Chain A
Amino acid sequence: MRLQDGAELTGLPAVEAKNVTKTFGAGPDAVVALDNVSVTIGQNEFFTLLGPSGCGKTTLLRLTAGFEMPTAGSILLEGHEVAHLPPFKRPVNTVFQSYALFPHLTVAQNIGFGLKMLGRKRKVIDEAVTEMLKLVRMEPMRNRKVHQLSGGQQQRVALARALAPQPKVLLLDEPLSALDLKLRKEMQIELKRLQHETGITFIFVTHDQEEALTMSDRVAVMSRGKILQIGTPTEIYEHPVDRFVADFIGETNFIEAEVTQRIGNKGEIRLPSGIEVPRELGQHVAVGGKVTLAIRPERIDLVRPGADCHLAGKVENIVYFGTDTHFHIDLDSGGDVTVRVQNRRGHQDVLKMGDAVGLRIAPEAMQVLKD
């Protein structure tokens, strides 16, 4: 199995979903939440399931936890089939979106709950609780009740509670969505640290693409019950396989182009401006076929209009963002693109609305999409 950076995985994968399908309801009202999904997650990976709400990412997490049973397919934990096991027999713990801390117990009792249910000795539980409180930096809160904690503190307790039984895999169901921005950023770093320190495999569910990119070893982008692409954040961002992934992750410009030549995998495509550029092509496009190019706004350079430009247009709008400036360009060939320029030396002062500009794009920044 290949993981990021081409590293070969040794040993068994932490989680393996094979052809998993999950249908809710029956008959004409049936909803397919997961449609023949397969994914392999390695040991110690920070793996993120990313997608819009209703894409099936939470369902896949709940199937792994055991709250739902798959309609078809199998789920393996370190090589053992667990699809039929109830949640309390799986060495997997969940951090819930709502935290779901027990309101009738103290912080320490919440954290020790899993170990107590496993029948551990009181001394063992106490030691584990102390260690966990230290890990999430909540030592002074040991005897507080849950309702006496702030949202961020509850989040930490929820994490400690799920980590205390030392699960093989930790499942995190949008755990940061209830926190405000600043706290969320803190917790992102905290989560990375915890994953690093504990060495436990994290499966993280989120609809926040930025969160996914910054935290994950690998990301699976999901839509409508299917996994569209699995890869490292760089792969997903730089080489999106289709329009959905390109559009969902970050900002993207889509430009239609035509294939004019093709020799093996290499070929040439003609941009709307008539300029032809060499590009690697997939199997699915023939000469004369249309392709969509995805180009990131920061990969386009604004230059003086001229023969060496790939595209040309007029500045329609300028939006200043502090760190960078977004230029909305009306293309002469129709359509528009967004260009992001880092604010280093004040390009924003040079260009004014209505100015004619040329656009230069490195060929490797033009990602040919599947459809």
Chain B
Amino acid sequence: MATETADTPSAPQPVSTASAVSSAAAASDAIERRAVVKRWLLSAPALVVIIGCGLMPLLIIFAYSWTKPAEYAGVIWHFQPDAWINVLFQEDLFSDALSPNWAYYSIYLRSILIALQTTMLALIIGFPTAYFIATREERSRNAWLFLITIPFWSNLLIRIYAIMMIIRDEGYLNHALLAIGAIDQPLPIIFTNYALSYGLIYAYLPLMVLPLYASLEKLDFRLVEAGYDLYASRFKVLWHVIIPLVKPGIVAGSILVFIPAIGDYIIAQILGGGKRMMLGNLIAQQFGTARNWPQGSALALTLMAVVMLALVFYATKSQRKRAA
């Protein structure tokens, strides 16, 4: 810095030099402007998608949530915060007094618990699966991954209906169990929490396996050997070496499973019979039978806020850990 100032002559500059400098500045300005235009043009498709398919619908939902429900669906553009109050509180029909909305709380709680349970079980099932694939020979790994992704080729709805055909009271499973004499009346599996969990894990397990595989595949197995060498048994190597090293994959998989699971609608509707309501069903109900679009909008945004808070919480926690 000091040498730079020393090299720059402090004497007044000749006029001609000054004008050359200004025209050069103008030219570089033009280039700069063109670069900016190009940048916007290049990012335009992405911006259109993000604004048109992401931001706009969100803004509409946000606007709806502050309006009054119309009698036959839709909204009346009249400011009213009722939908937001109802997210947490219940208005007494006669006295306008507010009391906690226990019905909703139980739905929130159930959604969170079922989503957590799904995530945990998907992790417990998905980890050995991903480990198995990652430790195969390179050639056969792709075949295994291919098998994991095959379910994605058909529509989720169809697959969930197929599960229903298997586990319902007159389904194949009960038929088979009756035929071999293991039971004398059909097992009531469908419309239980088991059926719901089963459906959720089935649907979202690949989302757990794939990021886990990506992490495990990169794992340096020489570190595993080093662990064994340093007196760590198989379980200790798993706990002290493998799991810390593939943690990014565990986190990615858990997020990918938790988010769709907490907002699930189809699986709860079909396999849970709609009796065990989840947040997704509640939201759908507001837009459908209840004809309360503002309420549905407020609940949808609440769900989003919960998910984002969970992510932010995780991000700050892991950042603090990294800084420590």
A residues sitting closer than 8 Å to B (CB atoms) are: 65-67, 86-89, 92-94, 96, 98, 100-104, 113-114, 117-118, 161-162, 165
Contacts and interface: CB of A to CB of B under 8 A. Distances in A.
18 contacts: A65-B229, A66-B229, A67-B228, A87-B225, A87-B228, A88-B233, A93-B230, A94-B229, A96-B226, A98-B220, A100-B220, A113-B227, A113-B232, A117-B227, A117-B232, A117-B236, A162-B229, A165-B231
A114 B222 contact: no
Contacts of A86: 228
B225 A100 contact: yes
Contacts of B223: 100, 102-103
B33 interface: no
B208 interface: no
B33 to A, nearest CB: 42
Contacts of A92: 229
Contacts of A100: 220, 222-223, 225-226
B233 A102 contact: no
A62 to B, nearest CB: 9
A216 to B, nearest CB: 23
A86 to B, nearest CB: 7
A161 B231 CA distance: 12
Contacts of A118: 231
Contacts of B231: 88-89, 114, 117-118, 165
B12 interface: no
A67 B221 CA distance: 12
Nearest to B243: A104
A159 to B, nearest CB: 13
Nearest to A87: B228
Nearest to A62: B225
B212 interface: no
A117 B238 CA distance: 12
A165 B245 contact: no
Interface of B: 220, 222-223, 225-233, 236, 240-241, 244-245
A31 B220 CA distance: 25
A65 B225 CA distance: 10
Contacts of A98: 220, 222
Contacts of A162: 229-230
A93 to B, nearest CB: 6
Contacts of B230: 88, 93, 113-114, 117, 161-162, 165
Nearest to B241: A102
A113 B231 CA distance: 9
A117 B220 contact: no
B226 A104 contact: no
A239 B35 CA distance: 75
A327 to B, nearest CB: 47
Contacts of A66: 228-229
Contacts of A94: 226, 229
B243 to A, nearest CB: 10
Given A88-B232, A117-B230, A104 B222 contact: no
A15 to B, nearest CB: 15
Point out which of B220, B225, B230, B245 has the most chain A C-beta atoms below 10 A from its C-beta: B230
A36 B227 CA distance: 30
Given A101-B226, A161-B230, A165-B231, 16 more contacts: A66-B228, A86-B228, A87-B228, A88-B231, A88-B232, A89-B231, A96-B226, A98-B222, A102-B226, A102-B245, A103-B245, A104-B244, A113-B232, A117-B230, A118-B231, A162-B229
B246 to A, nearest CB: 10
Contacts of B229: 65-67, 87-88, 92-94, 162
A287 to B, nearest CB: 56
**CB-based closest 7 A-B pairs:** A114-B230, A100-B226, A117-B231, A87-B228, A117-B232, A100-B222, A104-B244
Contacts of A93: 229-230
A89 to B, nearest CB: 8
Given A93-B230, A114-B231, A104 B236 contact: no
A86 B233 CA distance: 9
A161 B226 CA distance: 10
A98 B226 CA distance: 10
Contacts of B232: 88, 113, 117
Contact of B225 (A67, A103, A113): A67
Nearest to A93: B229
Nearest to B228: A87
Point out which of B220, B227, B244 has the most chain A C-beta atoms below 10 A from its C-beta: B227
B231 to A, nearest CB: 4
A88 B236 CA distance: 10
Nearest to B237: A88
Contacts of B236: 117
